[in-house]
Amino acid sequence: MYPEIQPYSQGFLHTEDGHRVYWELCGNPEGKPAIFLHGGPGGGCSPAHRRLFNPERYNILLFDQRGCGRSTPHASLENNSTWDLVADMERLRAEVLQTEKALVFGGSWGSTLALAYAQTHPRRVSELIVRGIFTIRREELRWFYQEGASWLFPDQWEDYLAPIPENERHDLMAAYRKRLTGDDRKVQLEAAQAWTQWESHTITLLPNAAHLLEHAADDSALAFARIENHYFVHNGFMEEGQLLRNAHLLHAIPGVIIQGRYDVCTPAKTAWELHRAWPQAEFHLVDAAGHAFDEPGILARLIAATDRFSTAPARVVL
């Protein structure tokens, strides 16, 4: 990755429905505009995410989506939907980046949000880079949170099941929602930690201690688990199959799709289906990789993609 950098500007977007969305700008103020979208939902941005772009060539906008990271109110589910986030992105593009178009970069849930934004505002996206493709269909959710992935990680699956009584295990996402939105702080945190650690233990091809610690703190785990679960029980606030069905809206946007072959969280089947629906995009299936952005093969492809697009036309000021 590129060297560590600090924001040259930061602040909060005040929404009309009670949220303060943290944003920061990094890199070159006169560089090519780019919007980075973190995963989760509920994951928040980290300093490492700034390092995916050449800071001399890019003006990078990063923001913590509603309810997580430095955004407030913490772990809030009110007025927190995909379309609220798409609206936040549009305001940040116009008011903070002050550009007509920007490159959009998202991985995992960030790929979901990137696709939703690009399909809603295709003329605002100069290029699209997506990784670990997730379109929030029921089969994708059930694979990871109800069945499927448990066959590969039976030991970690037992820890995921532990907070849920056997008579509620027929619908684990609903059972977790009951606990994550309840009034008992101890029960909330037990569920949040189990939900979060299930993902943290399965996102890399080989064990990675750094990922296990990423959302280990109680407040971070609570935001991550509550917001993820909230989106997933509501099917991402989208119609089933919407993002693949509307992939034709992306055909004029230069794009790159990057996917780990052994991604357990968001299996390669979905990335392949997006590739078939959006054949104009460059497609990379990385053999020795799981889900995380910093798997070596995935990271190399991501840096290559941002480097490639850094020479494309830069900022068009509003």
Catalytic residues: 108, 263, 291
> Helix, strand or coil for residue 233?
helix
- How far is the C-alpha of 68 from the C-alpha of 47, rounded, in Å? 15
Buried b (16+ CB within 10 A) or exposed e, 222-240: bbbbbbbbbbbbeebbbee
Closest CA to 281 of 303, 262, 309, 260: 309
Query: Residue 130: which of 298, 14, 248, 11 has the closest Cα?
Result: 298
- In sequence order, which ranges of the chain are alpha helices (DSSP H)? 47-50, 82-92, 109-120, 138-145, 154-161, 172-180, 185-200, 209-214, 218-233, 242-245, 268-277, 296-309
Distance spanning both ends of the chain, measured CA to CA: 31
* Cα distances (angstroms) measured from residue 118 to each of 100, 110, 273, 286, 302: 13, 12, 17, 24, 19
Q: Alpha-carbon distance 101 to 118, whole Å?
A: 11
Query: What is the Cα–Cα distance from 67 to 19, expressed in whole angstroms?
Result: 8
